[in-house]
Amino acid sequence: MDSNANLIMDEKTEYRGLEQDPLPTYSSWPPEAAQDEGRGKTRWTKFRGTVAWTQAYDSTKQAIEKTPSFARDKVWPIVRKAKPTKKQIYAFLILLFFGIGPMLVAVVLGMLMSAGGGLFAAKTISCGNSLGKLQNSTVVGIEGLFVLDLVAGKFPFSQVKIIDVGWDLCVGRGAQLLAWWSSYIVFSDALLRVIERHPTSFQTFTHIALEGASLGSMWALLKNLFKSRSKQTWILFFYMLISIFWILTMPTVLSAMTGYVNTSIAWVSIGNGSQIVPASEFVNGAYITKAGNQTFDKVCLENDPFTGIYYQLSTRDDYCNCSLSNGTITSYYNRSHIYDSSPDIYYNLYPYISYPYIDSPYWSGYGYGRYRQNKTICSFDYPNNTETFTWTDKSGQTRESKCNVKWNVTIAGHDYDYNSVNYSDYAYCNNGKGYDLFELEDTSRCLPDTAFPGYQWGFSSMLSTLFAIVHSVWAVSMYIIWQDAQFNSELVKSGFALTQLRAAFALATAAKDKTGMKSKELVRADTKSLENQLFGTKKKKEAEVDYGIFQNELKGERSRNESSLLRRPGWPSVGRSDDV
């Protein structure tokens, strides 16, 4: 007995010690504690799971205690009570695809257009190739909302009109229908939440529960903003007012952010603005004012035939020799330059400026000057000159020419020495006539393509982005209002749903309580007198819908649900007239 008593005392002492003294850390546990295979777990191993669970619980508890009081007292209880029901899953999917989805599309669109200044930058209208900047092509401010800058296709009027009408009917009205349906569910649950706090007016309940988002609902909510009995109700009614306005205007915004425009091309004004020509009919070239002893009225040669001569000329100047007036043969690149006293003749100050343009301006790095090549100073056309040079044309091919080569240019069917031609290669050609580059610069403008008319359909990126942002904010806020009713309304948590039929019954019950009439009397009563009693006047108080109506309905549903659980399948119900 004594030995057994001592053993019991030792076990009690050991158990009390485990309760009072802190357990050692995992690193200090004896290795033999883990060697329990084949002979059962030791007492120390039994407590190891308890220690790990206790440490995890303590760390979780400390993390929760460190969180803000709002998250700990308000958010965390809701998260604990949240269950992934079918209704919650469907609501989240609808929010994801129809609420947050448009916002993600707007973000991607903004990233794609950020290189052009972003979605909300000034919009520049484009209509193909133009000569310089288009006139009146930049749209700033509020007008940029309606610029269709994302257009595509080329349709006849009938097809583009069908596309536009189809968008308005399918997308515009379809989005409004989905928004109306979801808002009816949210507003009905929110209205039950309000009624649990205090009665609501008969008119507000009538429009919200029977019509949903409508102009009548907006008018009823607007009147109730000055009668609301609590701050929470005032905020909710104001939000519902703004939300209904957004739902009603949704098709208009969706229609305004799309549309069709004429296919346009760039036109250029010529002849002091008296004539317009498509910009596509202008090509790069060079116009000639003089060749030899012949003068021209800006005769234009397309594709600038002088460019190839320029490649040869610049290479020859770098690699060929020339003869000075005293007969000395020297490198043209390193030749000595002498100032001639003649008022018409200037000589290049630097070797790399040695182009034989006659009466043509050339930028020397310090200003414009008029240069003439004095061949008596250093000429390539000297006797027995057999030197050659290689040069690369603009297509990249290597060619060989003589240093004393003479270039001829064909103008109006006649050949002229290149050195005698006065031309400008800063030009555009149209029908054989040349126009100075700076003369046509920034004179283009977008006008309809009359030769090949058509229409393009597309979007305004700015208005589309604004719609996506507003719609996403609206969808998230509706989801928050709905979740508030799911967790805080006793009626909603019990599974009670306010349908239009139930709303009609509730309104009939409230009308009977207010007027004291029976059902048949309400049907045959004078409409004007009945409206004054139910909707109220300046002297009469408006009828109200209170919580008692739904409370009785709720108790009835619970009793029916409980009785159905007590009955076994196939058993007849006893004492229930509604089962007949």
One digit per residue, the tens of pLDDT, for the chain of length 580 reads 454 544 444 444 443 444 444 444 444 444 444 444 444 444 444 445 555 556 655 666 566 566 667 666 766 676 666 667 888 888 899 999 988 888 888 777 766 665 555 566 667 677 777 777 776 667 776 777 788 888 888 899 999 999 999 999 999 999 999 999 999 999 999 999 999 988 888 999 999 999 999 999 999 999 888 876 788 899 999 999 999 999 999 999 999 999 998 888 888 888 776 778 888 888 888 888 888 888 888 888 877 777 778 778 878 888 888 888 788 888 877 664 443 333 333 333 333 333 333 333 333 333 333 333 433 467 888 888 888 888 887 777 888 888 888 888 888 878 888 878 888 777 888 888 888 777 787 778 888 887 788 899 998 888 888 899 999 999 999 999 999 999 888 899 888 889 999 999 999 998 888 888 888 888 888 888 888 888 887 777 888 888 888 875 455 454 444 444 333 343 333 333 333 2
Cα 477 to Cα 190: distance, rounded to the nearest angstrom:
13
Report pLDDT for 70.
Answer: 66
Q: Does residue 359 contact residue 316 with C-beta atoms inside 8 Å?
A: no
Which residues of 355-418 form beta strands (DSSP E)? Answer: 361-363, 368-370, 378-379, 388-392, 398-402, 408-411, 414-417
Cα 440 to Cα 425: distance, rounded to the nearest angstrom:
14
Report in angstroms the alpha-carbon separations of 400 from 310, 355, 419. 14, 20, 20
Report in angstroms the alpha-carbon separations of 262 from 124, 180, 258, 452. 16, 35, 14, 10
Question: What residue type is assigned to position 160 of the chain?
Answer: V
Cα 482 to Cα 470: distance, rounded to the nearest angstrom:
18
Q: Which helix (H) or strand (E) holds 424?
A: strand 421-430
Neighbours of 277 (CB within 10 A): 16
Q: Does residue 430 contact residue 277 with C-beta atoms inside 8 Å?
A: yes
Using alpha carbons, select from 105, 108, 141, 110 the residue that is nearest to residue 123.
141
pLDDT tens by residue, 55-85:
655 666 566 566 667 666 766 676 666 667 8
Cα 339 to Cα 201: distance, rounded to the nearest angstrom:
103
What are φ and ψ of residue 272, in 5° steps? 60, 35
Cα 314 to Cα 316: distance, rounded to the nearest angstrom:
6
At 569, is the secondary structure helix, strand, or coil?
coil
pTM value surpassing 0.85: no
Report pLDDT for 578.
Answer: 37
Q: Which helix (H) or strand (E) holds 434?
A: strand 433-436
Cα 152 to Cα 482: distance, rounded to the nearest angstrom:
40
Cα 486 to Cα 85: distance, rounded to the nearest angstrom:
12
Report pLDDT for 279.
Answer: 82
